[in-house]
Amino acid sequence: MSRAHTAADRYGDPAAVLGVHSEVLSLQLAHRSVRRFGPREVTDDELTALIAAAQSAPTSSNLQPWSVVAVRDPDRKARLAALAAGQAFIAQAPLFLVWVADLGRASRLAERANTRAGAVDYLETTVIGFVDTALAAQNAVLAAQSLGLGSVFVGAIRNRPEEVAAELRLPPHTVAAFGLAVGTPDPAEQAGVKPRLPQGAVLHREQYDVAADAHIAAYDERLSAYNGRFGLSGNWSDRVLERLRGPESMAGRHRLREVLERLGLHSR
């Protein structure tokens, strides 16, 4: 097993080890976001495999409340990139997948059956839509990695959700939850396995213990060191506080509730 596939890299801590190993764990520990891609196209066979993996994820009550729009057209990718904070890698990636929390399929099913699907209008069902979409997409990410592909999630697809919906012709009761750029990683990209919080900060046994926050100081040092290797600055705490400062730090997403209402996801 290469060092890039170890717990030591995942946590930025040479003392971090796992007592068990598997090929799947190795892939998961080696995961990183890829924002520069090579020229090779993602084949239709690969796309089919990614969606099969996504559909193998758990789904609440077998509702399967998600869809995905595969975008390869350069002009459409460029327009989506502009809507998602101008992130150039969206246009550069050979494949951009837009993952859709899709309650429209169930609504249309009810309409055809001449009955109601009133629960679609409630927050619980909206949450199910987003959770199941995320579970499916993460399965696709791991499948992509197993095929030698790289990817990166794009939350900025929610910056201007109504315009994204218009671009993709999304029907009522749906919303683009996030994007996923997919392609062959460019080996020249300066990036690595970004350390995560120590397990002691996130794993609570039996009951939640806020004293676990004591692990954050050490993590700030590790992440600062990681960032420094790539010419970046800052630690985790500063990044979190800046990102969550207030509505002005949310790139328009503070209006998401009212946008969901207009898209037919009432979430009452």
Instruction: Report the DSSP beta bridge partners of residue 178.
Output: 99
Is there a contact between 36 and 189 (Cβ–Cβ < 8 Å)? yes
pLDDT tens digit string along 41-89? 999 999 999 999 999 999 999 999 999 999 999 999 999 999 999 999 9
Instruction: Tell me the percentage of the chain whose pLDDT exceeds 90.
Output: 96
Q: What is the pLDDT of residue 77?
A: 98
Residue range 185-195: mean pLDDT, rounded: 93
| CATH of span 32-186+217-262 | 3.40.109.10
Tell me: pLDDT of 93 over 80: yes
Write down the number of H helices and E strands in the chain. 12, 4
Q: What is the pLDDT of residue 83?
A: 98
Residue range 29-44: mean pLDDT, rounded: 96
Tell me: pLDDT of 100 over 70: yes
Look up residue 38 and give its DSSP letter. Answer: -
Q: Quickly count: other Cβ atoms within 10 Å of residue 68's Cβ.
A: 23
Distance CA 50, CA 169 (A): 23
Six-digit token pair at 108? 């249309």
Sheet strand arrangement including 174-183: 66-71, 95-102, 174-183, 150-154
Confidence of residue 4 (pLDDT cuts 50, 70, 90): very low
Six-digit token pair at 242? 């800046």
CB-count exposure of residue 133 (10 Å: 0-12, 13-18, 19+) = buried
Tell me: pLDDT of 18 over 70: yes
Residue range 167-193: mean pLDDT, rounded: 96
Q: What secondary structure does DSSP assign to 200-238, as a single string?
A: HHH--SSS--GGGGGGHHHHHHHHHHHHHHTT----HHH
Confidence of residue 3 (pLDDT cuts 50, 70, 90): very low
Tell me: pLDDT of 5 over 70: no
pLDDT tens digit string along 51-61? 999 999 999 99
Is there a contact between 129 and 123 (Cβ–Cβ < 8 Å)? no
Six-digit token pair at 213? 């926050």
Six-digit token pair at 245? 């400062």
Domain extents in the chain: 1-30, 32-186+217-262
